[in-house]
Amino acid sequence: MAGLYIHVPFCRQACHYCDFHFSTRLDTMEALVEAIVTEASMRLHMDRSWNDISFNTLYLGGGTPSLLPSNLLKRMVLEVTQVMGIHHDALDEFTLEANPEDMSEDKIKAWIDLGVRRLSVGVQTFDDPTLRWMNRAHTGQQAVDALVRAQRCGVESMSMDLIYGVPTSRNWEFDVRTALGLPLQHLSAYALMVEPNTVLGSRVGKGEQREAPESHVVQAYDMLCNHMHSAGWEHYETSNWAAPSTMVDRPFHRALHNSSYWSGKPYLALGPGAHGFHHTTRYANVANNPRYIRAIQQGVLAQTVEHLSHVDRYNEALMTGLRTADGISPQSLAQAWGMRPDVQEAEVWSRLVREGRLTALSGGRYRIPEVHWITGDQVAASLFCVSET
């Protein structure tokens, strides 16, 4: 099983904190969609092993896929899935990232007709002054109305993004309570990162803006964890929570596409700035719309390719596994990569277990307890293997 990701690199305006690849020049949408369809057939042709893989999740991310006119989005999805031999009925999950200002009734209905079953909505906060500070294109009320409208139109499942650790006076608890009052099955929450090539990064660099203190970030995360726990949601990955479900085989609404990333399954990615992974190779398409389109038109993939060693894959499995509630199995790591952290880094491992920063689960698995998750990446890094064995 594998995931298919399509990166739609357009945004209405640039959020001040964002360093994803996007362009606010919208006049290349049609050419871009044509190029993405062509890329799909080029990739299948150049690496025949993709033909033997079944794709069970489709994720349209960005940028802002909801910004695409419905007819263009439809053309892109139908042509790409046709090229790849994917039947929508066979997909376990089909997600589209949407921003509240695009979620008109007409668009939502067109997405449902196309087979979209899940929306991932970029809200970030319900506080209008903070939304303006972020340079978001919607208000808090628009976000609430959009989610309620989508539920009324019949969207099966919805996720929402929030950002915490923001240096404004917004009321974080109000944001969390508001989210819990909405028709959501999933929540992703990320700490605000100050990235260098952003408006925020430049303001912080010039001393015009301060970052939120570390204690504020930790407090916000703790408060979120407590509220989600009280509401009965499953905290299944450092930044992700799933609501209880009535499905027999899936007690919580975990995101299937993202869960595949974390468990090391292959994913084919299309579009400028998209990253794909298969076997021991990871590729990244050029993060520039005109260059991407030009290269595809010339029959070339403008990409960088990284060949991953056993050690790279092992370290990645440690990092992603320890970010999940299911944790890692040293035994399975040994079978897959010939190394296990309790042997490779025996002293560090024992100390982490002694300090309670790693706890045993059933079946020989270990996880980082929720209370230590905010610093969990340091735990994973302390167990990394640093050379080929």
What does the binding site for ligand SF4 look like in residue numbers (CB under 6 A)? Answer: 11, 14-15, 18, 20, 22, 62-64, 99, 122
Beta carbon of residue 59, minimum distance to ligand SF4 (angstroms, whole number): 14
- Choose between 11 and 189: whose C-beta lies nearer to ligand SF4: 11
Backbone angles phi, psi at 233, to 5 degrees: -80, 155
Alpha carbon distance 267, 257 (integer Å): 9
- Choose between 22 and 59: whose C-beta lies nearer to ligand SF4: 22
Beta carbon of residue 161, minimum distance to ligand SF4 (angstroms, whole number): 9
Query: What is the Rg, in whole angstroms, of the alpha carbon atoms belonging to the chain?
Result: 21
Two tokens at 182?
Answer: 């909405």
Beta carbon of residue 97, minimum distance to ligand SF4 (angstroms, whole number): 8
User: Locate tokens 């990162």: which residue?
Assistant: 193
- Choose between 18 and 73: whose C-beta lies nearer to ligand SF4: 18
Alpha carbon distance 383, 345 (integer Å): 6
DSSP 8-state class, residue 371: G
DSSP 8-state class, residue 227: H
- Choose between 67 and 228: whose C-beta lies nearer to ligand SF4: 67
- Choose between 22 and 314: whose C-beta lies nearer to ligand SF4: 22
Amino acid symbol at 102? D
- Choose between 134 and 379: whose C-beta lies nearer to ligand SF4: 134
Beta carbon of residue 152, minimum distance to ligand SF4 (angstroms, whole number): 24
Alpha carbon distance 149, 108 (integer Å): 9
- Choose between 18 and 293: whose C-beta lies nearer to ligand SF4: 18
User: Which residues are registered as beta bridge partners of 260?
Assistant: none
Q: Kindly report the number of other CB atoms within 10 A of residue 2's CB atom.
A: 17
H-state helical runs in the chain:
29-46, 70-84, 105-114, 128-134, 140-153, 172-180, 199-205, 214-230, 256-262, 289-297, 310-322, 330-337, 341-344, 346-354, 376-382
- Choose between 12 and 117: whose C-beta lies nearer to ligand SF4: 12
Beta carbon of residue 257, minimum distance to ligand SF4 (angstroms, whole number): 17
Beta carbon of residue 20, minimum distance to ligand SF4 (angstroms, whole number): 4
Beta carbon of residue 15, minimum distance to ligand SF4 (angstroms, whole number): 3
Alpha carbon distance 118, 150 (integer Å): 10
DSSP 8-state class, residue 244: B
Specify whether the CB–CB gap between 127 and 170 falls below 8 A: yes
Beta carbon of residue 136, minimum distance to ligand SF4 (angstroms, whole number): 7
